[in-house]
Amino acid sequence: MVKLTLIARVTDGLPLAEGLDDSRDLKDAEFYKQQVKALFKNLSRGQNEASRMSIETGPYIFHYIIEGRVCYLTMCDRAYPKKLAFQYLEDLKNEFERVNGAQIETAARPYAFIKFDTFIQKTKKLYQDTRTQRNIAKLNDELYEVHQIMTRNVQEVLGVGEKLDQVSEMSSRLTSESRIYADKARDLNRQCW
């Protein structure tokens, strides 16, 4: 079941729209929203280029798609079919592009398309129950394939930047230390002569 839905611009992480009463019955809504924001920030720095991705976090899982420099992200229970989640995002994407496509680049304030929340709300309801005829049909749709979408862990994703930093730091330390070693070795060599 869909817990959170957020739409943001990838270039600068500006939130464009968000599902309305998404945080109902969700205890740690704030915590997960923070994670989403961190994720958007990462995306805006040009990492995780994959246009479709699933990221595990606690009992939930984020699914997102990036299209036309907009990231559509939803958070679901882990048990919720991945296929449905991505179809939900596709639906949002299609409608969002149709309605707001032209203005996405020029949006200058946060939640500039907050009016889209009514559509999010409506669509969400359609996907709520996995056993409706409509959703079963979608699940069986073999044309829509989600197997190859990578699943990663949120720590891993949010930690990626950190690790890269670590690696570059270590390598730079290695460079400088090897230079010292070279100097010392040269000195020693001279002394030996």
Partner 1 sequence: MGTENPGRPNFPARPAATPFAAAPPQNVMPFSSSGPLVGSEASGFRPTSPAAPQPTVPFSSSGPLAGSQSSGFRLPPPPRYTDPSVPPPASNVPPTGGPFQRFPTPPFPSTVQAPASRVPLVGQPIAQPPAPPVSFRPQPQIPPVPMGAPPQSVNSAPPNVNAPYSVSDSSFPAPMTNFQSSFPGYARMQSNADLQSPPMQSSFPSHQGGYAPAPPTSSTPFLSHQGGYVPPPPVAAPLGVQSRDQMQYPGSGPPGSIQGLIEDFSSLSIGSVPGSIDPGVDPKALPRPLEGDVEPKLFSEMYPMNCNPRFLRLTTSGIPNSQSLASRWHLPLGAVVCPLAEAPDGEEVPVVNFVSTGIIRCRRCRTYVNPYVTFTDAGRKWRCNICSLLNDVPGDYFAHLDATGKRIDLDQRPELTKGSVEFVAPTEYMMRPPMPPVYFFLIDVSVSAVRSGMIEVVAQTIRSCLDELPGYPRTQIGFATFDSAIHFYNMKSSLTQPQMMVVSDLDDIFVPLPDDLLVNLSESRSVVETFLDSLPSMFQDNVNVESAFGPALKAAFMVMSQLGGKLLIFQNTLPSLGVGRLKLRGDDLRVYGTDKEHMLRIPEDQFYKQMAAELTKYQIAVNIYAFSDKYTDIASLGTLAKYTGGQVCYYPGFQSAIHGEKLRHELARDLTRETAWESVMRIRCGKGVRFTSYHGNFMLRSTDLMALPAVDCDKAYAMQLTLEETLLTTQTVYFQVALLYTASCGERRIRVHTAAAPVVADLGEMYRQADVGAVVSVFSRLAIEKTLSSKLEDARNSVQLRIVKALKEYRNLYAVQHRLGGRIIFPESLKFLPLYGLALCRSTPLRGGYADAPLDERCSAGYTMMTLPVKKLLKLLYPSLIRLDEYLLKASAQVDDFKNLEKRLPLAAENLDSRGLYLYDDGFRFNIWFGRALSPDVAMNLLGADFAAELSKVTLSERENEMSRKLMRILKKLRESDPSFYHLCHLVRQGEQPREGFLLLSNLVEDQMGGANGYVDWILQIHRQVQQNP
- As given in the structure block, the two tokens for residue 9 are 């611009």
Q: How far is the CB of 159 from partner 1 (least distance, A)?
A: 24
Closest CB to partner 1 among 18 and 138? 18
> What is the total count of residues that contact partner 1 (CB under 8 A)?
18
Q: Which of 18, 54, 70, 74 binds partner 1 (CB under 8 A)?
A: 18
Q: Which of 24, 98, 131, 147 binds partner 1 (CB under 8 A)?
A: 24
What is the side-by-side order of every strand in the sheet holding 60-67? Answer: 15-18, 2-9, 70-77, 60-67, 52-57, 151-153
Q: How far is the CB of 122 from partner 1 (least distance, A)?
A: 7
Distance CA 63, CA 57 (A): 11
Helix (H, G, I), strand (E, B) or coil at 159: helix
Closest CB to partner 1 among 115 and 184? 115
- Helix/strand number for the chain, H first, E second: 5, 6
Question: Which segment (11-19, 71-79, 92-100, 133-141) binds partner 1 by CB under 8 A?
Answer: 11-19
Closest CB to partner 1 among 126 and 149? 126
DSSP β-bridge partners for residue 151:
54
* Burial class of residue 20 (count of CB atoms within 10 Å of its CB; 0-12, 13-18, 19+): middle
Q: Which residues in 80-99 contact partner 1 (CB under 8 A)?
A: none
Residue whose entry in the numeric block shows the structure tokens 């680049």: 105
Q: Which of 1, 26, 38, 114 binds partner 1 (CB under 8 A)?
A: 114
Interface residues with partner 1 (CB under 8 A) are 14-15, 17-18, 20-21, 23-24, 108-111, 114-115, 117-118, 121-122
